[in-house]
Amino acid sequence: MLQKLEEVKKRYQFLLEKLSDPGVVRNRQEFIKISQEKSQLEEIVKLYDEYRSVVGKISSTEELLSEERDSELRDLAREELEQLEKEKMNLEEKIKLLLLPRDKNDEKNVIVEIRGGTGGEEAALFAADLFRMYSRYAERKGWKVDILSSNRTGLGGFKEVILLIEGKGAYSRLKYEGGVHRVQRVPVTESGGRIHTSAVSVAVLPEVDEVEIDVNPEDLVVDTFRASGAGGQHVNKTDSAVRVTHKPTGIVVTCQDERSQIQNKMKAMKILRARLMDRMKKEQEKEVARNRKQQVKTGDRSDKIRTYNFPQNRVTDHRIGLTLYRLESILDGDLDEIIDALITHFQAEALAGMES
- Rg (C-alpha) for the chain, rounded Å, is 26
User: Does residue 184 contact residue 307 with C-beta atoms inside 8 Å?
Assistant: yes
Q: Which SS3 state, helix, strand or coil, does residue 195 take?
A: coil
Per-residue pLDDT at 239 = 76
Residue 104's pLDDT is what? 80
Instruction: Place 232 in a pLDDT band, splitting at 50, 70 and 90.
Output: very low
Q: Is the dihedral of CA 353, 41, 43, 337 positive or negative?
A: negative
Q: What is the pLDDT of residue 108?
A: 87
- DSSP calls for 237-292: H---EEEEEETTTTEEEEE-SSS-HHHHHHHHHHHHHHHHHHHHHHHHHHHHHHTS
Residues found in the chain: 356
> For residue 33, what pLDDT is reported?
85
Reported confidence tier of residue 169, pLDDT bands at 50, 70, 90: confident
How many degrees, rounded to 5, is the angle at CA 229 between CA 225 and CA 234?
Answer: 65
**What is the dihedral angle through the alpha carbons of 159, 265, 135, 310, rounded to the nearest 10 degrees?**
10
For 119-136, the pLDDT digits (tens) are 888 999 999 999 999 999
Compare 76 and 131 and report the one with higher pLDDT: 131
Mean pLDDT in the chain?
Answer: 85
Q: What percent of the chain has pLDDT over 90?
A: 41
317 neighbors 342 (Cβ within 8 angstroms): yes
Max Cα-Cα span within the chain = 96
pLDDT score for 96? 79
Residue 166 has pLDDT above 90, yes or no: yes
Which strands, in side-by-side order, build the sheet including 220-225? 220-225, 241-246, 251-255
Do residues 88 and 51 lie in contact, with contact meaning Cβ atoms separated by under 8 Å?
yes
Confidence of residue 225 (pLDDT cuts 50, 70, 90): confident
At 229, the pLDDT band (50, 70, 90 cuts) reads: low
Average pLDDT estimate for 92-96: 82
**Angle 214-219-225 (CA atoms, 0-180°, nearest 5)?**
115
Q: What is the pLDDT of residue 73?
A: 83
